[in-house]
Chain A
Amino acid sequence: MTRKQRRGVLIGVGVGVLMVAVALVLFAMRDSIVFFHTPSDLAEKPIAVGQRFRLGGLVAADSVKRGQGTKVEFVVTDTLKTVPVVYEGVLPDLFKEGQGVVTEGRLTDGGTFVADSVLAKHDENYMPPEVAKALEAKGVKLGKGAPHPAEATQ
Chain B
Amino acid sequence: MTIELGHFALVLALLMAIFQMVVPAYGARIRDPRLMAVAEPAALCQFGLLLVSFLALTIAYVTSDFSVANVANNSHSTKPLLYRISGVWGNHEGSMVLWVLILALFGAAVAAFGRNLPATLKANVLAVQASIAVAFILFIVLTSNPFLRVDPPPADGNGLNPILQDPALAFHPPFLYAGYVGFSIAYSFAVAALIDGRIDAAWARWVRPWTLAAWMCLTIGIAMGSWWAYYELGWGGWWFWDPVENASFMPWLAGTALLHSALVMEKRDALKVWTVLLAILTFSLSLMGTFLVRSGILTSVHAFAVDPKRGVFVLAIMTLFTGGALALFALRARDLRQGGIFAPISREGSLVLNNILLTTACATVFVGTLYPLLLESLTGDKISVGPPYFDWTFGPLMVPLLLALPFGPFLAWKRGDAYAAAQRLAFAAFAAVVVMALGWAFIHRGPVLAPFGLALGVFVMLGSVSDLAWRARFGSVPLGEAWRRLRGLPRSAIGTTLAHFGVGMMVVGVVATSAYREEKILVMKPGEQVSIHGYDITFRGVAPSTGPNYREETGVFDVARGSVPVTRLEPGRRIYDMPPEPTTEAGINAGWRGDLYVVLGDAQAQGGYAVRVYFNPLVRFIWLGAVVMFIAGGVSLSDRRLRVGAPGRAKRIAAAPAE
Contact = CB atoms under 8 A, between A and B. Distances in A.
Interface of A: 1, 3, 6, 9-10, 13-14, 17-18, 20-21, 24-25, 27-29, 31-36, 54, 66, 69-70, 88-91, 93-94, 121-124, 128-130, 134, 147-154
A91 B610 CA distance: 9
B605 A21 contact: no
B343 interface: yes
Contact of A17 (B341, B357, B604): B357
Interface in B304-339: 304-306
B392 A151 contact: no
B177 to A, nearest CB: 9
Nearest to A10: B352
Contact of A10 (B344, B391, B579, B604): B344
B54 to A, nearest CB: 17
A6 B344 contact: yes
Nearest to B173: A154
27 contacts: A1-B343, A6-B344, A17-B360, A21-B393, A21-B397, A32-B386, A32-B392, A33-B384, A33-B386, A34-B386, A70-B521, A70-B522, A70-B523, A70-B601, A88-B521, A91-B602, A93-B573, A94-B582, A122-B162, A122-B581, A130-B299, A151-B302, A151-B304, A153-B225, A154-B95, A154-B293, A154-B302
Contacts, number: 162
A90 B601 contact: yes
Given A29-B389, A124-B579, A149 B299 contact: yes
Contacts of B164: 152-153
B392 A24 contact: yes
A122 B304 contact: no
B612 A17 contact: no
B383 A36 contact: yes
Interface string B93-111: 0010000000000000000
A149 B298 CA distance: 10
Contacts of A31: 388, 392
A18 to B, nearest CB: 6
B117 interface: no
Nearest to A29: B389
B296 interface: yes
Contacts of A24: 364, 392-393, 396-397
Given A25-B367, A70-B521, A70-B601, A148 B383 contact: no
Given A6-B344, A124-B580, A34 B384 contact: yes
Nearest to B289: A154
* Among all A-B residue pairs, the 5 with the closest Cβ atoms: A32-B388, A28-B392, A36-B382, A90-B601, A32-B389
Contacts of A21: 360-361, 363-364, 393, 397
B356 interface: yes
A10 B341 CA distance: 12
Interface of B: 74, 90-92, 95, 161-164, 169, 172-173, 176, 225, 234, 244, 248, 293, 296, 299-306, 341-344, 349, 352-353, 356-357, 360-361, 363-364, 367-368, 371, 381-393, 396-397, 521-523, 573, 579-584, 599, 601-602, 604-605, 610, 612
Contacts of B301: 121-122, 151, 153
Given A25-B393, A70-B610, A153 B90 contact: yes
Nearest to B580: A124
A153 B95 CA distance: 9
B384 A36 contact: yes
A6 B581 contact: no
Given A70-B522, A90-B610, A128-B299, A6 B360 contact: no
Contacts of B381: 35
Given A21-B360, A32-B392, A152-B95, A93 B582 contact: yes
Nearest to B361: A21
A6 B341 contact: yes
A94 B173 contact: no
Nearest to A125: B579
A18 B304 contact: no
A6 B352 CA distance: 12
Contacts of B172: 153
A134 B299 CA distance: 14
Given A28-B389, A70-B522, A153-B169, A54 B384 contact: yes
A50 to B, nearest CB: 17
A32 B364 CA distance: 14
Contacts of B371: 29
A47 to B, nearest CB: 13
B92 A152 contact: yes
Nearest to A37: B382
B393 A91 contact: no
A114 B47 CA distance: 56
Given A70-B601, A93-B581, A134-B382, 8 more contacts: A9-B344, A29-B371, A31-B388, A33-B389, A70-B522, A94-B581, A130-B299, A154-B293
B267 to A, nearest CB: 18
A149 B91 CA distance: 13
A51 to B, nearest CB: 13
B90 A152 contact: yes
A1 B397 CA distance: 28
Contacts of A94: 581-582
B581 A149 contact: no
A134 B382 CA distance: 10
